[in-house]
Structure 1
């Protein structure tokens, strides 16, 4: 993958040069792992490293400074801005554990977001980026979170983010949990930051349950069942097919 630097000043580029170089070393390793184990055949052409402001106002209007547009990844490497963004997910509510976690968000946790975007390019996923992707986006988003975290974080950090997102789901399910996870799609991004992230949290925890409980830690078995759902004509929603439609009720 090529690296493209989209900053408004040389000072900004210099500020983030170190973390970008460290991430590039890790990206190469994670990419080789995906190519070997999970059918990453055509990786993205480039990563555009940019600021939070440019990512969310110039290159896109998505309120998250990390996304993939066709075969290019856009992401901000600004750790401080990510900490502040994740704290906004609390929407004014107080929770000492969650606030402490996000206010000290590590570089390792930030790297999982880069890895998440790379994971989207697996050939194992059924839909292309140009598709509407309205009936199974939760599976892809949840699996991208799961793989990027499970295979780049140590056990302590993986359990840490799992605990935090479990708390967040419990905290906000009364407000945002009244719709099926199968409704997670492009319209989801029209809501508030917390409502958007709520479906990401649920997606990750659902995929974690599928892999670690229902499939006894066999990620590839979960992918095989996902492929069968498609081969059978998607006759039922994917959450119902996997019997997880009531997982967070």
Structure 2
């Protein structure tokens, strides 16, 4: 993959140079895991390292400065940007533990966001980037967080971020949880930051439940069922097929 730097000032690049180099090395290691175990065959052509403003107003209108398409991953490496974004998702709610976690959001947790974007390129996911990407976006988004978190974070880091997202789903389920998890899609991005992230939090927790509870920690069995659902013609919503009514 090419690494392309899109900063408006040289000083901005220099500020993030060390972080980018660390992330590049770690991503190469994670890439090898995906290639050997999770059907990563076609890499994106490159990563565009940039800042929040360019990522969300010039390259795209997606309000989160990390995303991918068939050819490129866009990523802000700035940890303060991510801390500020994530604190905003509390939307004024008093969640002291969550706020402290986000105010001290770690370098490792930011890297997971980048690893999430690369995971989207696995051929285990059935929808192509140019497709409408309906019916199972929650599964892909949830799995793209579950895999790198489970594979790359320590047990403590994994449990911490899981607990935080459980608390956030509990806090916002009455306000943002009326729609089905199967409705996660393009319409999700028409809400505010918290409603957008709610779908990500809920999707991650749903996939974690599928892998660790229903499949007894066998992620391959979960992918097998996901592929069976597709082969059978997607006759019912994926959440119904998996029987995870509590996440609907």
TM range (shorter): over 0.9
Whole-Å separation in 1 of the counterparts to 2:91 and 2:46: 34
Whole-Å separation in 2 of the counterparts to 1:132 and 1:231: 18
Whole-Å separation in 2 of the counterparts to 1:63 and 1:207: 24
Whole-Å separation in 1 of the counterparts to 2:236 and 2:42: 30
Whole-Å separation in 2 of the counterparts to 1:10 and 1:111: 23
- 1:75-104 CA distance string (max 9 Å, x none): 100100100000000011111100000000
Report the 3-state secondary structure (helix = DSSP H, G, I; strand = E; otherwise coil) of the residue aligned with 1:151: helix
Whole-Å separation in 2 of the counterparts to 1:186 and 1:220: 28
Shift of 1:177: 0.7
Whole-Å separation in 2 of the counterparts to 1:241 and 1:192: 30
Report the 3-state secondary structure (helix = DSSP H, G, I; strand = E; otherwise coil) of the residue aligned with 2:226: helix
Shift of 1:71: 1.7
Aligned partner of 1:240 in structure 2 is 240
Whole-Å separation in 2 of the counterparts to 1:91 and 1:120: 28
Moved over 4 A (4+): none
Whole-Å separation in 2 of the counterparts to 1:190 and 1:95: 25
Aligned partner of 1:160 in structure 2 is 160
Whole-Å separation in 1 of the counterparts to 2:6 and 2:69: 15
Aligned pairs (5 A) from 1:11-50 = 11-50=11-50
Whole-Å separation in 2 of the counterparts to 1:46 and 1:99: 33
- 1:134-161 CA distance string (max 9 Å, x none): 2100000000000011111010000000
Whole-Å separation in 1 of the counterparts to 2:92 and 2:63: 18
Whole-Å separation in 2 of the counterparts to 1:206 and 1:247: 9
Whole-Å separation in 2 of the counterparts to 1:159 and 1:44: 30
| RMSD of equivalent CA atoms | 0.7
Matched, 1:142 2:142: yes
How many residue pairs get aligned? The number is: 248
CA contact (8 A) 2:142 2:200 kept: yes
Shift of 1:49: 0.2
Aligned pairs (5 A) from 1:135-214 = 135-214=135-214
Aligned partner of 1:130 in structure 2 is 130
Whole-Å separation in 2 of the counterparts to 1:234 and 1:202: 21
- 1:159-217 CA distance string (max 9 Å, x none): 00000000000000000111100000011101000000001000000000000000000
Where in structure 2 are there 5+ consecutive unaligned residues? none
Shift of 1:69: 2.2
TM-score, normalization: structure 1? Answer: 0.99
